[in-house]
Amino acid sequence: MNLLTALAIGILFAAGIYQILRRNVIRAAIGLVLLSNAVNLFLFSAGAYNGQSAAYSAAAAQISDPLPQALVLTAIVISMGGFAFVLSLLYVISTRYKTSDSDEVKGLKN
């Protein structure tokens, strides 16, 4: 199972990277979300325990590591905010430059 999980996260990551490298900025934005998903899962794997039960006090079985969970929780919300901001940038780019091709968008001036 560990190997499969690792491979799945790797594939998710690779898909994100590949999308980010597209010229189409919409694809790049999609890649960003894929990447943040992959990174969150990767952070989960940094948890120290093989959890049998959710992280609640006085649980009967071994709890899952609460620390990465708390970090990922924060990460999800922040990447959501960042993602929304990227999308609005994307809109600005497409209206200003009349293109969604990142190769055509060079320099910060008009």
Site for other proteins in 76-105 (CB under 8 A): 76-78, 80-85, 87-92, 94-96, 98-103
Q: Enumerate the β-bridge partners of residue 63.
A: 53
Min separation Cβ 60 and other proteins, Å? 13
Choosing from 56, 60, 109, 110, the residue that interacts with other proteins (CB under 8 A) is 56
Neighbours of 25 (CB within 10 A): 22
CB of residue 80 to other proteins, shortest distance in Å: 5
The crossing angle, in degrees rounded to 10, of helices 25-45 and 2-20 is 160
Q: How far is the CB of 64 from other proteins (least distance, A)?
A: 5
Q: Are 75 and 40 in contact (CB under 8 A)?
A: yes
Nearest by Cα to 15 from 27, 3, 5, 24: 27
Site for other proteins in 8-47 (CB under 8 A): 8-27, 29-30, 33-34, 37-38, 40-42, 44-47
